[in-house]
């Protein structure tokens, strides 16, 4: 059994400080990792499924906070649910005892 651990920053209301935020998502017995940089076709399909539109082509201008820039990949759980991976956060696959199985590089 695997879980996805997201380590990121939670902004408070005045944006002056941010605190570390850790979230865990149960994936089940198997998962798959789709990295934008190494599998653009699968990434585009996952992106379209989650956000209901196709990502901009690489040669079109994007703002730094556009989803096409911020989202660097997806993890799919054993039921096919997709979890977007934000490049500003860190992600790990962890085992039931909490040990890190894999660090995901996006």
Choose the most confident range, by mean pLDDT, from 2-16, 46-60, 81-95. Answer: 81-95
- pLDDT greater than 60 at residue 13: no
Q: Output the pLDDT for position 19.
A: 75
User: What residue spans of the chain are helical by DSSP H?
Assistant: 40-51, 67-70
Domain ranges of the chain: 2-104
Structure confidence by residue, pLDDT tens digits, 74-102: 999 999 999 999 998 999 999 999 899 99
Section 66-70 average pLDDT: 75
The residues, ordered by sequence, that sit 6+ positions from 68 with a Cβ below 8 Å of its Cβ are: 47, 55, 56, 62
Structure confidence by residue, pLDDT tens digits, 17-38: 567 889 999 999 999 999 999 9
DSSP H/E element including 68:
helix 67-70
């Amino acid at each position: 059994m695997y879980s996805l651990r997201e380590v990121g920053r939670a902004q408070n209301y005045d944006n002056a400080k941010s605190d570390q935020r850790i979230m865990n998502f149960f994936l089940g017995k198997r998962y798959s990792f789709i990295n934008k940089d190494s599998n653009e076709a699968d990434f585009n399909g996952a992106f379209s499924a989650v956000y209901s539109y196709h990502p901009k082509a690489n040669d079109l201008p994007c703002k730094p906070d556009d989803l096409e820039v911020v989202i660097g990949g997806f993890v799919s759980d054993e039921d096919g649910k997709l979890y977007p991976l934000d490049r500003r956060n860190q992600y790990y696959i962890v085992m039931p005892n909490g040990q890190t199985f894999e660090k995901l590089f996006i």
